[in-house]
Copies of this chain bind each other. A is one copy, B any other.
Amino acid sequence: MFIDRLIDEIKRKNNPTVVGLDPRIEYVPAFLKEKAFKDYGRSLKGASEAIFEFNKIIIDSVFDLVPALKLQSACYELYGSHGIDVLKRTIRYGREKGLIIICDGKRSDISSSAEAYSAAFLGRASIDEDVREPVFDADALTVNPFLGYDGIKPFIDDCKNYGKGIFILVKTSNKSSGQLQDLLTHQGKSVYEILAEHVNGWGKSLIGKYGYSSVGAVVGATYPNQAKILRDIMKNAYILVPGYGAQGGTARDVVHAFNCEGMGAIVNASRSIICAYTSDTWKDKFDETRFGEAARAEVARMRDDINRELGASKICR
């Protein structure tokens, strides 16, 4: 079961953080980029292969410290079929290193199309009546709830059939997330609160040994007050927290998504880790040829930062 595997790995590595592999070509150090351009051309293919080499070094540098990777699908789609090929190879490479792979696709559609997305990311594609093949085979996918339950159900079915998970957007980390998500309904609840009640209900058939469901939620680190409310409404849901680091969320902000025992959430950071070699904290210590070591140092710092804050706030009221 997805959620049990995730929690077991968080416990084993004593680390509730996730590395966001959201690579941009401008993040890739020149020595890797030039080699890929020489081998494959200054093209969509060349950029994709540069990103794959970058990803492998990041994964090699952090796999023993973190439970999971989050891959932003937009960064791969940007390079067309070559980028999608690298998405698939990165997922496979990460899984071979024992990492849990969350694909951040924020997909949603009416049920027949949601079935196709789900088959692609979590399940199997139909080739012919009796032939089915895995495509991306990620462990989990982020899903957008705008279409309501019948856009979510195909993903939940595949979570059951293939031991996978989903994280449903409830309160996103961006500035204008409130425009729709914070609207106050006539019963006095906000849209994100109503969504949270649905998410908690939808997950009831997928609860594992720790009391959490393979149907999780996304709640941005940039909204700590909402995180408190949402943690309380979604008792079953593991919360994926984006927005730590480059987007401005701190350890003090993210603790609200955890329960009083320091469980119930995983925190993602992307740029602050994969571009650590360019940051004020690490750039004097690691030059661009050592970007993997810089990412590792930042992963360890982030883990300790969050665990320290969780320790300080671990009071079960």
Contact = CB atoms under 8 A, between A and B. Distances in A.
Interface of A: 22, 24-26, 33, 37, 42-44, 46-47, 72, 74-75, 77-82, 84-85, 88, 104, 106-114, 116-117, 119-120, 125-128, 131, 133, 135-136, 144-151, 169, 172-181, 183-186, 188, 191, 194-195, 198, 242, 247
Contacts of A174: 110-111, 147-148, 150-151
A284 to B, nearest CB: 25
Contact of A113 (B47, B74, B131): B74
Nearest to A195: B180
A77 B141 CA distance: 14
Contacts of A146: 144-146, 169, 172, 180-181
A117 B301 CA distance: 31
10 contacts: A22-B112, A25-B128, A37-B128, A77-B116, A77-B135, A78-B117, A110-B172, A147-B169, A183-B185, A183-B194
B176 A113 contact: no
Nearest to A185: B183
A92 to B, nearest CB: 12
Contacts of A42: 127-128, 131
A77 B117 contact: yes
